[in-house]
Amino acid sequence: MSLLVPSVLALLVSGFALAAEPADELIKKGDIFYAKLQPAEALKYYLPAEELDPANVPLLVRIARQYRHLQTECTRKEDKAKWATMAVSYANRAVKLAPEDPEAQLAVAVSYGKLLPFESIKEQLTCSKTIKCAAEKCIQLDPHEDIPWQVLGRYYFNYADINPVKRALGNMRYGNIPTATFEQAAKCFEKAIELNPNRLMHFIELGCTYAKMNRTADAKKMITKGLAMTETEKDDPEVKQKGREVLKSL
């Protein structure tokens, strides 16, 4: 068993002793660790706060994100699937309470994206539809948010990257597999950069897409720029490693 899971569970259990404090105070304390990208410590405060205020949508969104961050810290497939499932559960609760909240919709899109690799192909098709719908809804509700464009870009990239043989077999077994182009993916990543040029993931994902489009010079430029940027997100080290691998192959 991974050493991470027992230690995390111990922190979460000990956190319930804090429930005597008001929910807003617990959330403020959790936010300190949220900002430090320390999910287990943040949950130590967020989960008792949830017990006191279970319909607090921003809190449910925060908790979903912490479980996604826990997934990033894991190495075992079983642990990653577990934390992604928890993130989806909280994101769904948030969006059920507030379907017009863009952050709730974004939580759904990103959380299902984290769960996607651990699902069967049939389930992946259903999940991908949910991801696309939630991302598009988030854009509709908040046109200035960059992350849903990143999510949509990955959606288009993944479907564009299916080779013809696998697509034909998938169509025979599961029905029509969605079609997409790398051009669609690139436009989404370009829009994400336009909205927020401070996230390295946008540049690296755009560079990886340009590589698929045989725009080698542009791919090198974007990936190199992303690799030079400071890491600020939990997924940034993983994204940078992907960028290095693609850059090496060009």
- Of the listed ranges 29-33, 96-100, 163-167, 189-193, the one predicted with least confidence: 163-167
Dihedral, 161, 214, 204, 135 alpha carbons, nearest 10: -40
Residue 145 zone, left/alpha/beta (φ > 0; ψ -120 to 50; rest): beta
Structure confidence by residue, pLDDT tens digits, 204-236: 999 999 999 999 999 999 999 999 999 999 999
In angstroms, how far is CA 147 from the centroid of its own chain? 9
Least confident range from 54-58, 115-119, 229-233: namely: 115-119
pLDDT in tens, 196-212: 999 999 999 999 999 99
The mean per-residue pLDDT over the stretch 38-57 comes to 95
Which pLDDT value is given to residue 8? 52
pLDDT at position 2, please? 42
Q: What is the pTM of this model?
A: 0.87
Domains of the chain: 1-143 (1.25.40.10), 146-250 (1.25.40.10)
- CB–CB of 205/153 below 8 Å? yes
Overall average pLDDT of the 172-186 stretch: 87
Residues of 146-180 as b/e, b for ≥16 C-beta within 10 angstroms? bbbbbbbbbbbbbbbeeeeeeeeebeeeeeebeeb
- Kindly state the tokens that stand for 198: 């401070």
197: number of Cβ within 10 Å: 13
Task: Give the pLDDT confidence score for residue 179 in this predicted structure.
Answer: 87
Name the one residue in this structure whose structure tokens are 């899971």: 5
Helix residue ranges, H only, the chain: 4-15, 23-35, 39-52, 57-73, 77-97, 102-115, 121-141, 147-160, 164-174, 182-195, 200-212, 216-228, 236-249
Q: What is the pLDDT of residue 168?
A: 74
Largest CA distance in the chain: 59
- d(Cα 190, Cα 211) in Å, to the nearest integer? 14
Per-residue pLDDT at 3 exceeds 70: no
Measured distance CA(180)–CA(159) in Å, rounded: 6
Lowest mean pLDDT among 113-122, 183-192, 217-226, 233-242: 113-122
